[in-house]
Amino acid sequence: MLAIIPEELRMAQSTLDLTSTGYRGRSDHAVRRQIVDAARERFSQDGYANVAVADVAKTIGFSKAYIYKFFDSKRAIGEALCTQIMEVLLDKAQHASRKGATSSERLSLYFLKLVDVNVALCKKYPRLADIALDAMRERWAPSVAYVEAVERFVSTIVQQGQVSGEFHARTPPNEAGRAIARAMEIYYNPLVLQFKLDELPKGPHEILRLLICGLSR
């Protein structure tokens, strides 16, 4: 099981389509990344709910007022960190899918890795996983973008399978991709996954076999 390490979060470059971030100033500002790094450190130690903006500021020797020049709230900082977390989850899953020789294999590898890294996050960095749970529960922008990104990527795999003749073309790829992503969401949405751990690893394999069977010609 490959864990998500803090260095990977620090280096994450967001490509998620966010509709609301609470950012102030330039999005690429180095100070903003420094603030998020400090927040990750404090949230990892004490938990998101127990850390105030003033605590983050103190960690890096900034004033609370200076933090607000870059983020309009603690939630905005949490969303920035959540974006990093979900970018790493998606990147690892996409990288794993590239090893598949067929669309069926790519689909399976993608979801199995997405489940794997979500479980690793929960076990190795439970405090960071709590942020992802809050994001899903309250539908923060990064959590919505995360689910949409999964749907888009799966739709692409389905389209490739239809073009190659591996999958039937009776269902539009976008529609099929959304349906597959929603069926698998119980295993890659951390809010639901926490109640499904006893079904691993058998559960995802069974659903994937059924879904792929439905796609095949």
Asked whether the beta carbons of 141 and 21 are under 8 A apart, the reply is: yes
The more confident residue out of 46 and 28 is 46
The predicted model scores a pTM of 0.87
Cα 103 from Cα 123, distance rounded (Å): 30
Tell how far CA 3 is from the center of its chain.
14
- Amino acid 123: pLDDT: 87
For the chain, what is the mean pLDDT?
A: 89
- Amino acid 30: pLDDT: 86
User: CA 92, 98, 103 angle in degrees (round to 5)?
Assistant: 120
Q: Is residue 179 domain-resident?
A: yes
Are 27 and 82 members of one domain? no
Both tokens of 65, joined, read: 């007022």
- Amino acid 73: pLDDT: 93
**What's the number of domains the chain is made of?**
2
What CATH number did the domain enclosing 31 receive? 1.10.10.60
Does the pLDDT at position 13 exceed 60?
A: no
Both tokens of 151, joined, read: 């749907």
Residue 29's pLDDT band, with cuts at 50, 70 and 90, is confident
Whole-angstrom distance between the N-terminal and C-terminal Cα of the chain?
Answer: 33
Are 83 and 138 members of one domain? yes
Domain that holds residue 33: 20-69
Q: What mean pLDDT do residues 191-204 have?
A: 93
Are 103 and 60 members of one domain? no
Q: Is residue 8 domain-resident?
A: no
Both tokens of 112, joined, read: 């199995």
Are 196 and 131 members of one domain? yes
